[in-house]
Amino acid sequence: MMVAMRIILASASPRREELLRSLGLDFDAVPSEAVEHNDHPVSARELALHNAQLKARDVAARHPDALVIGADTIVVLAGQVYGKPRDGHEARHMLRNLSGRSHCVITGVCLIRGNERNFVVETRVQFRELSEADIERYIAAVNTLDKAGAYAIQEGPPIVASIDGSYSNVVGLPLERLVAELREFGVFVREPAQH
């Protein structure tokens, strides 16, 4: 039985909305007006968490009675952070660099209702070797400009060879850990589907 409280996803991401809906959660999506940062002096993990906190705190300030969920996902290859590409040229560049290599997808999550709970989840992703034709097919099939690293694991022609860790984290929200954290706020939801 779920506690009756308003839950807000501080995001405009349809992927995050789909993931939360898969838990049977009743929530509102309220995009944050916070400006995300592109780098952090400490680490990529800190960057993802910092941006998640910015989003959650912005929305929580406007909706203090709600449980607010903020998240930020970044792709890291050889120490370099890959955010959302600015244009098709940068998207192609990112996909070429990711081709045949292993990288890390990091999501920072911040939950606020009175107190604040934060966590970071990492998933290792191995890309297939991509030809220029593969890259062009992918870009034609997927809107790469609104995705960190210029790709979405759940969309378009298959470009991922394997993952080690949470699949939903690569989509944009680590559901396994989120379910456990929601319980700390008295919110009980169904277990996420396994991939």
> Do residues 85 and 150 touch, judged by C-beta distance below 8 A?
yes
Q: What is the pLDDT of residues 69-98, one digit of tens each?
A: 999 999 999 999 998 899 999 999 999 999
Residue 129 and residue 2: Cα distance in Å, rounded?
45
Q: What is the pLDDT of residue 168?
A: 95
Q: What is the pLDDT of residues 17-55, one digit of tens each?
A: 999 999 989 999 999 988 887 766 679 999 999 999 999
Q: What is the pLDDT of residue 2?
A: 44
Q: What is the pLDDT of residues 134-190, one digit of tens each?
A: 999 999 999 999 888 999 999 999 999 999 999 999 999 999 999 999 998 888 887
Which are the catalytic amino acids? 72
CATH 3.90.950.10 fits 7-184, yes or no: yes
pTM to 2 decimal places: 0.91
- For residue 195, what pLDDT band results from cuts at 50, 70 and 90? low
Residue 167 and residue 175: Cα distance in Å, rounded?
9
Chain centroid, CA 11 distance in Å: 10
Residues 1-28 have a mean pLDDT of: 86
Helices (H), 72-171: 88-98, 132-141, 167-171
